[in-house]
A and B are shown apart, each in its own frame.
Chain A
Amino acid sequence: MARQAIIYIIQTRGVSMIKIIFKFISLTSISIFTASIIVAETPKHGGTLVWSIGTTPRHLNPAVQSGIATGEPGAQLFATPLRFDENWNPQPYLAKSWEISVDGLTVTLNLEEDATFHDGEPITSKDVKFSINTIKANHPFKTMFTAVKKIETPDKHTAVIKLSKPHPALLLALSSQLGAIIPEHIYGDGQDAKKHPRNSDKVVGSGPFKLVEFVRDQHIILERYDGYFIKERPYVDKIVIRIIKDPAARALGRKNGEILLSTFESTPQDINHSKQISYLTASDKGYAAIGPITWLAFNTKSKPTSDKRVRQAIAYAVDRDFLVNAVMMGTSLPAYTGFHPGSVFHDPNVERYDLDLDKANTILDEAGYARASDGTRFKLNIDFGWPAARSMAEYIKPQLKKIGIDVTVRQSPDFPSWAKRISTWEFDMTVDVVFNWGDPVIGVHRTYLCNNVKKGVIWSNTQQYCNPEVDAILEKAGMENNQQKRVSLYSQAQKIISQDLPIYFTHTVPYHTIYNHTKLGNPPSTIWGTSSPLDEIYLK
């Protein structure tokens, strides 16, 4: 403090002494103020955390079910070998340490010795082997563990994962809601893991909280697991997750104090309204790993969007800043590529197609799309599948009118109808939202790989984009254990993709965590946010 003040005084030579003294006092008082906050923030034990979510999970076993609905309670019930901090660094969790061999083909996990499942049985390397094999066989994200050849268990607390190729995505796949460690003595009874009755009833987990009750569409009640292997944690005695589908009801619940924590809130009005309430904080931290991005996807195989120049003209005509600042009311971040801005691999230095209507018109003129007598060059459809996407589609329509494209906005009656339409390629352009899911290998590659053009599968390469050069770079990056080299490979891929423009990336989904900061301490801030164990959160 004193040193800081001296430097400050030296830097401000020439300013009147009174002013300096005044500044010094205010600096000191600020630091005292900060210090007192730090003192007050010693975590306390006890209390019930009431947390609202907007969707009901199918069941609670994240080893066989991905998605945020299962992921949030799943991460409380089940521990994973690793967890991540807010800067994408892996941290010990069930594995107190781990080593990756020089060739990248062997990953050794050294497990905590006194970790137990909620029924008191020890968590051993056999359970780790069983869990990874179960996930490999049943989890929708096949890319997480396809590289796993076999798992050896030399002793109870060592699991050695043998890989067929270097697989840096493994670390993220072993964290949060992706790599749940489940008890072999419960799920290894020969029943289909996807339909196992213990997925939602009498769940025996490995995480900081155990299940008391799960009532579909109503609530999930969790209780502190006293045998949790991290001493003194978790701080909260009980978590009540209330499933409330109506965003307005959730907003009122936060306002009157019934709800202390809401997650995955994405309505700009609700987020901005919360920011005006003195006791609420709305934060977009904790969604970098999920990495949700909104974009305008093109059908690159049907005319006229198969013409790159048409896609470029459209991109120049759509104002990303308007989408971020007006449509999303400043709650989103601009997205320039298919990597979430919070990702270490995100490279913003790509072709951005900032608004330029003249350029858009010139491109279309030069490409030979002449205007008819009514000023129209051609017609296009834009699809959207959920109510929140309407405003973006409705904005794009008049915007493209300016460059002579007559756009019809097509709303699908519900989400599955939209998914069917897009996955069977019956579209010109669509508003789409795709999640990164931690490592690019899991959630990013799938959008661009030539061999992932799969009819009928939503969030495959529905643009039907294919560039062998991009494929080669992605494949290489997926096996690159050197982080710096990996970053530069993904940077190359992002540059090529933005040139080819199968997708015009616009903005992030404005997921926010809204919480009552007068009552809640240590809100989740890691890359996985509330999709990771809430063993540090406490009630003031």
Chain B
Amino acid sequence: MQFISLTLKRVGFGVVLLLIVLILNFFLMHLAPGDIADTIAIDAGGADEEMMDAIRKDYGLDLPIWEQLLKYLAKVAVLDLGYSFYYNISVTDLILERLPATLLLVISAQLLAITVGVVLGVIAARNPQGITSHFVTVLALVGYSAPVFWTGIMLIILFSSILPIFPIGGLMDVSIEREGFAKMLDILHHLVLPSITLASIFVALYSRLARASMLDVLGSDYVRTAKAKGLSEFLVVYKHALRNALLPVVTMAGMVFSGVISGAVLVETVFSWPGLGTLAVQAILARDTPTILGILFFSSFVVVVANLLTDMLYRIIDPRIRTSND
């Protein structure tokens, strides 16, 4: 019962959050100098007054700002995100067109970062003062502190130019037509560098987290008991300790996942990856209010859902939460 009411509460908060995000960003977009008529004129290399007025009228920008906001919210209430000023297609279509690329990049980068991070963290935790541990720390910090666009460019120079194994960017090679498995392989081939680049920041996060919580857990009573039972080192570390040590990692993954759309922007730009990040940047630069609000609406939605899912995942990993709350 408590679980259901908690969930409902969360959903309620989520709706309020979405509303605040929309209203705040609506005004923020209006504060930015210039509007869609200006950006269309810029793109066109010039325009005249009547045309710009016509554009403003066409997109309802001549109405008082409150009226514009209310009209927009009324549409969002029935899940209509409106039309993109810039591209003249429905914002929902635009987001759905870009979503798969971003999800592919973000999920593969996260999986890579979690796997590598946890493994490194555990290795480091088993001998916290050893050379391996220090090496892991340094490696993680370098990955974390290097600007992601720099890492990306360096990887491109190394693996697309000096050793031309991977393509410089894009989602797939469109100069040759491929179907089915060959197409999948081609996309994976294009995915390698961007996902390594994006993962490089998170490896540090996960490895430090896994190391710390692993050290914590390894010192606890039940681990000592497990060791005393005569269980093998491997079993103790990977079955008993790791499972508990993973909790903070999962929390972090949930939090990080919700922020990924913003994190992927630079990687998407460097690798010409056609995801939501590049769309968001383009939309801001073009003052394409419906598109930017649509993306923000969507990503706040992801935050709310990701938080709910993290909660649930917690309950699966940690039986204590399951019994205490239900």
Q: Is the CB of A416 within 8 A of B42?
A: yes
Kindly supply a per-residue 1/0 record for chain A positions 211-241, scoring 1 wherever the CB is within 8 Å of any chain B CB and 0 otherwise. 0010111110100000000000000001010
Q: Is the CB of A420 within 8 A of B161?
A: no
Contact stretch, chosen from A32-40, A303-311, A454-462: A454-462
A417 within 8 A of B: yes
Q: Is the CB of A59 within 8 A of B88?
A: yes
Cα(A200)–Cα(B97), bound, Å:
15
Q: Is the CB of B43 within 8 A of A456?
A: no
B47 within 8 A of A: yes
A contacts with B, residue count (CB < 8 A)? 57
B44 within 8 A of A: yes
Cα(A435)–Cα(B279), bound, Å:
27
A221-B174, A245-B272 in contact; A416/B285 too (CB < 8 A)? yes
A-contacting residues, B255-271, CB 8 Å: 269-271
B278 within 8 A of A: yes
Q: Is the CB of B46 within 8 A of A215?
A: no
Q: Which residues of A contact B39 (CB under 8 A)?
A: 415-416
B30 shortest CB reach to chain A, Å: 13
Cα(A219)–Cα(B176), bound, Å:
13
Closest to B268 in A: A217
Q: Is the CB of A217 within 8 A of B278?
A: yes
Q: Which residues of A contact B40 (CB under 8 A)?
A: 58
A6 within 8 A of B: no
Q: Which residues of A contact B34 (CB under 8 A)?
A: 416-417, 419-420
B45 within 8 A of A: yes
B87 within 8 A of A: yes
Q: Is the CB of A217 within 8 A of B161?
A: no
Q: Which residues of B contact A59 (CB under 8 A)?
A: 87-88
A475 within 8 A of B: no
A264 shortest CB reach to chain B, Å: 12
Q: Is the CB of B274 within 8 A of A256?
A: no
Cα(A243)–Cα(B272), bound, Å:
8
B215 shortest CB reach to chain A, Å: 41
Q: Which residues of A contact B87 (CB under 8 A)?
A: 58-59, 200, 216
Kindly supply a per-residue 1/0 record for chain B positions 210-240, scoring 1 wherever the CB is within 8 Å of any chain A CB and 0 otherwise. 0000000000000000000000000000000
A-contacting residues, B3-46, CB 8 Å: 32-35, 38-46
10 tightest A-B contacts by CB? A416-B34, A420-B33, A140-B44, A140-B47, A459-B46, A420-B34, A417-B33, A218-B274, A66-B44, A244-B272
Q: Chain A residues in contact with chain B, CB under 8 A?
A: 48, 50, 56, 58-59, 65-69, 140-142, 194-195, 199-200, 213, 215-219, 221, 238, 240, 242-246, 248-249, 252-253, 255-256, 258, 412, 414-417, 419-421, 423, 435, 437, 443, 446, 454, 456-460
